């Protein structure tokens, strides 16, 4: 299979259907080719990220140390003890996803080791779903690597059009894209077709357009930590709709265009500058004053 | 512009909480360490704007010091670097400033060694990407993406071509190059980004070129 430059989702789907392969097949060959390494060497690098994600879950679950600011850090432990005597309405996979999401996010803000995926603020959305579902369904490491490559390919294509930075395009470009990547990973994990995977991406992203970045005190804590848990679950909804062959009426490339435009139109006050939104609420201003002391 | 790869999207493995304010700070520290490349006795970090206001909550101060001490972005010792054994032999302090002429995430490293002093200025430009913009009064551009040869010299005829010829003889391609000087015949800087590895011997040879004051070979950072 020869290297073919892929810059849109339409290119990617076309190539998958032409060669009758799935997204990670194309993606890993192209990446190995670009970096001048073998496919299995590329997969080793991906495995390293996967293993670091698993480690982050483990250490996150054990700790309730607060962040440097003292604002967040003990919510995962709260959730764990809640689930220890009453079960989630949506079952144990749901429990694991939200618990893992908080575990990783909190590990991030207490300066623990995480994998930026695509960014540090959105680091829990892909791994929480990927790891929780794989554990519950006994999915092999090989398949998890396939899924993570799929997620990476989605992020890569989006990032070549829109910068994945809250300061440039708001949180839709960080946690929003992470949720779309997570939906793609899960759809791959559950055996979806390339078409279904890209539908899941479109559905997830479409429903997060306009998400602003207004972190309290300018820190990656409020609303970021809990947002990771919400958008992990969001990814599952997108995946299940896609597996049922529900189609996004707006094709995924056009959703990305809409995201780019929305990011441009979004006020700079709502793009990581903490000058509006949640960051300027009465309580946020009070928190900011107490942190300055 | 450099297109991103899948690996860029699902990495780096780093200590949190922020790619620009934590991982970026470590990378800036590492680059400054390589630029100084000599024993550091004393260092003052001057943090600007967002680095100054949200730096503490993001561990930017810890990241900068850790980078200066040679720790990588995924080193769990970063969190407790203050007062740790590795930080024992260095005198460090922090200053916080506001200056709208500077980048939101800017930092100056004011470094003193045994008989060398240097001020190095850098910026964390997003998603963990960084640039060293100034060394003393000279404009440079060091991103950590390329092996970079940095030379400070007394401006005089032929120095640039002497250096590029040396590189050419090694069959190493020059990716980009920038020069700056304070005035004709005065101190100048040359900053050459390379596609490949440069033989350390060439670096030594550069030291002996007439009018050259300082040579540094700054290896690219692991991503
Ligand atoms: S709100 Fe802003 S800082 Fe927080 S995760 Fe989203 S983009 Fe990152």
B218 within some domain = yes
Question: Does B21 lie in the same domain as B121?
Answer: yes
Give the count of beta carbons closer than 10 Å to the beta carbon of residue B93. 10
Domain boundary among B110, B136, B162: B136
Per residue in A240-250, pLDDT (tens digit) is 999 999 999 99
Question: Does B87 lie in the same domain as B9?
Answer: yes
How far apart, in Å, are the Cα atoms of A31 and each of A36, A263, A286, B13, B162? 8, 28, 48, 19, 38
Strand, coil or helix: A80:
helix
DSSP state of B2: P
Question: Does B151 lie in the same domain as B126?
Answer: no
Per residue in A3-61, pLDDT (tens digit) is 678 999 999 999 999 999 999 999 999 999 988 899 999 999 999 999 999 999 999 99
Pick the CATH number of A9-292 from 1.10.4100, 3.40.630, 1.10.10, 1.10.287: 1.10.4100
Q: What is the CATH number of the domain that holds B154?
A: 3.30.70.260
Residue A213 Cβ < 6 Å to ligand 1: yes
- Over residues B142-163, mean pLDDT: 93
- The full length of chain A comes to 293
Question: Does B94 lie in the same domain as B8?
Answer: yes
* pTM, 2 dp: 0.92
Residue A229 Cβ < 6 Å to ligand 1: no
Please tell me which of the candidates B3, B9, B16 has its beta carbon nearest to residue A111.
B16
With contact defined as beta carbons under 8 Å apart, do B44 and B96 qualify?
Answer: no
Residues of B with CB under 8 A from a CB of A: 3-19, 22-23, 50, 53-54, 56-59, 62, 74, 76, 78-79, 126-128
Do residue B58 and residue A114 have CB atoms under 8 angstroms apart? Answer: no
With contact defined as beta carbons under 8 Å apart, do A112 and B16 qualify?
Answer: yes
B38 within some domain = yes
Question: Does B217 lie in the same domain as B191?
Answer: yes
Q: Is A172 on the interface with B (CB under 8 A)?
A: no
Question: Does B117 lie in the same domain as B84?
Answer: yes
**DSSP codes of every residue in B89-143:** T-EEEEEEE--TTS-TTEEEEEEE-SS-EEEEEEEEEETTEEEEEEETTEEEEE-
User: Taking 70 as the threshold, does the pLDDT of residue B53 lie above it?
Assistant: yes
Q: What is d(CA A261, CA A250) in angstroms, rounded to the nearest whole number?
A: 15
The predicted structure's pLDDT at residue A3: 65
- Over residues A130-154, mean pLDDT: 98
Domain boundary among B113, B136, B159: B136
What range does the domain containing B212 cover? 146-223
Domain boundary among B118, B136, B154: B136
Closest residue by Cα to residue A159 from B9, B132, B152: B9
Do residue B57 and residue A181 have CB atoms under 8 angstroms apart? Answer: no
The predicted structure's pLDDT at residue B223: 65
Pair of tokens at residue A71 = 């604002």
Do residue A116 and residue B74 have CB atoms under 8 angstroms apart? Answer: no
Please tell me which of the candidates A120, A153, A160 has its beta carbon nearest to residue B17.
A120
Mean pLDDT of chain B: 92
- B205 Cα–ligand 1 center, Å: 49
- Name the pLDDT band for A259 (thresholds 50, 70, 90): very high
B141 within some domain = no
Q: What is d(CA A220, CA A122) in angstroms, rounded to the nearest whole number?
A: 9
DSSP state of A90: T
With contact defined as beta carbons under 8 Å apart, do A276 and A270 qualify?
Answer: yes
How many domains does chain B divide into? 2
Q: What is the CATH number of the domain that holds B117?
A: 3.30.1330.90
The predicted structure's pLDDT at residue A2: 57
Task: Enumerate helices (H) and strands (E) in chain A, giving the number of each.
Answer: 13, 1
Per residue in A176-190, pLDDT (tens digit) is 999 999 999 999 999
Give the count of beta carbons closer than 10 Å to the beta carbon of residue B97. 14
Question: Does B169 lie in the same domain as B215?
Answer: yes
Give the count of beta carbons closer than 10 Å to the beta carbon of residue B39. 10
Q: Which residues contact A176 (CB under 8 A, 6 or more apart)?
A: A204, A205, A208, A209, A211, A231, A259
The predicted structure's pLDDT at residue B87: 95
């Amino acid at each position: 299979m020869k290297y073919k430059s892929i810059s849109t989702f339409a290119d990617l789907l076309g190539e998958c259907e032409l060669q009758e392969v799935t997204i990670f097949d194309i993606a890993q060959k192209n990446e190995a080719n670009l970096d001048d390494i073998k496919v299995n060497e590329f997969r080793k690098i991906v495995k390293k990220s996967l293993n670091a994600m698993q480690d982050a879950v483990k250490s996150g679950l054990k700790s309730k140390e607060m962040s440097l600011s003292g604002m967040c850090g003990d919510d995962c432990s709260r959730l764990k003890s809640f689930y220890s005597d009453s079960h989630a309405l949506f079952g144990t996979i749901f429990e694991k996803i939200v618990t893992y999401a908080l575990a990783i996010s909190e590990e991030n803000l207490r300066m623990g080791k995480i994998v930026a995926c695509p960014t540090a603020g959105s680091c829990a959305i892909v791994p929480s779903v990927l790891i929780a579902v794989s554990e519950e369904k006994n999915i092999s490491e090989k398949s998890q690597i396939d899924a993570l490559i799929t997620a990476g390919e989605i992020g890569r294509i989006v990032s070549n059009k829109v910068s994945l930075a809250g300061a440039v395009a708001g949180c839709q470009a960080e946690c929003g894209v992470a949720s779309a990547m997570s939906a793609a990973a899960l759809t791959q994990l559950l055996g979806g077709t390339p078409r279904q995977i890209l539908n899941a991406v479109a559905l997830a992203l479409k429903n997060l357009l306009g998400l602003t970045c207004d972190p309290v005190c300018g820190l990656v804590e409020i609303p970021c930590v809990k947002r990771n848990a919400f958008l992990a679950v969001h990814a599952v909804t997108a995946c299940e709709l896609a597996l049922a062959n529900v189609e996004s009426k707006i094709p995924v490339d056009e959703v990305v265009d809409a995201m780019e435009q929305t990011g441009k139109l979004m006020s700079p006050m709502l793009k990581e500058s903490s000058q509006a939104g949640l960051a300027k609420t009465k309580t946020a201003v009070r928190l900011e004053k107490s942190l300055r002391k | 512009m450099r297109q991103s790869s899948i690996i860029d999207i699902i990495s780096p493995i780093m200590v949190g909480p922020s790619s620009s304010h934590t991982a970026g700070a470590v990378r800036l520290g590492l680059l400054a360490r390589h630029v100084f490349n000599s024993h550091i006795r004393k260092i003052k970090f001057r943090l600007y704007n967002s680095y100054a206001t949200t730096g503490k909550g993001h561990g930017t101060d810890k990241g900068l010091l850790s980078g200066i001490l040679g720790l990588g972005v995924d080193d769990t010792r970063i969190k407790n670097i203050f007062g740790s054994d590795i930080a024992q032999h260095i005198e460090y302090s922090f200053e916080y400033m506001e200056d709208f002429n500077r980048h939101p995430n800017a930092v100056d490293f004011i470094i003193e060694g045994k008989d060398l002093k240097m001020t190095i200025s850098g910026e964390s430009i997003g998603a963990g990407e960084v640039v060293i913009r100034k060394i003393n009064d000279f404009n440079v551009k060091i991103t950590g993406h390329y092996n970079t040869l940095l030379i400070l010299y007394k401006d005089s005829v032929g120095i640039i071509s002497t250096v590029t010829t040396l590189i050419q003889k090694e069959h190493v391609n020059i990716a980009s190059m920038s020069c700056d000087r304070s005035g004709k015949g005065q101190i100048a800087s040359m900053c050459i980004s390379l596609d490949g590895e440069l033989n350390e011997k060439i670096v030594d040879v550069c030291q002996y070129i007439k009018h050259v004051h300082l040579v540094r070979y700054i290896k690219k950072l692991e991503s």
